[in-house]
Structures are given as C-alpha cells and as structure tokens.
C-alpha cells in the first residue's frame, strides 16, 4: 500500500507487502518486503530491509543500509551507515 502523501524519486524500488505513507523516498532508495515507512525521509541510495518499521519523522541520509527487522522511531541517521536493532527513543542521532 502506497499513500497518501508519498513522494517516490527516480530509480526507487519498493518490494511487495509494504505500507508507505506520508513519506519521501529519494532517488535510488529501496524498501524491501513487508516493511512500514510512515512520516519519514529515506535518503539517496539508502535501503530498508525486510520487516522494518520506520516511523515518526525518521530521517535517513545518503547510502544507509537499514538491516532486516529494525525499528526506527524518530531517529536521525548520518550518511554511509549500517543500522540494525531497535531504536525506540525519538530524537536519537546515529553518527
């Protein structure tokens, strides 16, 4: 399910079973299957793994790999990182 209020840039890939709403996927980003992206920004050439939950104005910079089954709640992630696990505290910055 995609929408409402979703912007998807060029060369993005969205797998099956995803729910994307109120979010922006910048050029070349990828969302694997069965993930939720809500109210967030996914940066250029970044990827979201399977069964992830990305919510509450999470901002992911360029070239970030979010591993399978990761939870991000209002998290800010700087470029060129690999992220996994649970990050439930809003406002957390991953450098």
In-domain check, residue 2: no
pTM above threshold 0.85 = yes
Is 48 in contact with 66 (CB distance < 8 Å)?
yes
Q: How far apart are CA 33 and CA 7, in angstroms?
A: 18
What mean pLDDT comes out for the span 50-69? 96
Which structural domain, as residue segments, surrounds residue 42? 7-94
Q: Which residues pair with 37 in a beta bridge?
A: 20, 54
What mean pLDDT comes out for the span 15-40? 97
In-domain check, residue 56: yes
In-domain check, residue 86: yes
Domain tally for the chain? 1
């Amino acid at each position: 399910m995609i929408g409402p209020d979703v912007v998807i840039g060029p060369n993005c890939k969205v797998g099956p079973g995803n729910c994307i709403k109120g979010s922006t996927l910048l050029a070349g980003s990828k969302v694997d299957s069965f993930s939720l992206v809500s109210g967030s920004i996914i940066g250029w050439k970044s990827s979201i793994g399977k069964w992830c939950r990305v919510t509450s104005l999470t901002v992911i910079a360029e070239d970030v790999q979010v591993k399978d089954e990761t939870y991000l709640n209002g998290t800010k992630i700087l470029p060129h990182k690999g992220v996994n696990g649970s990050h439930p505290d809003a406002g957390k910055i991953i450098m």
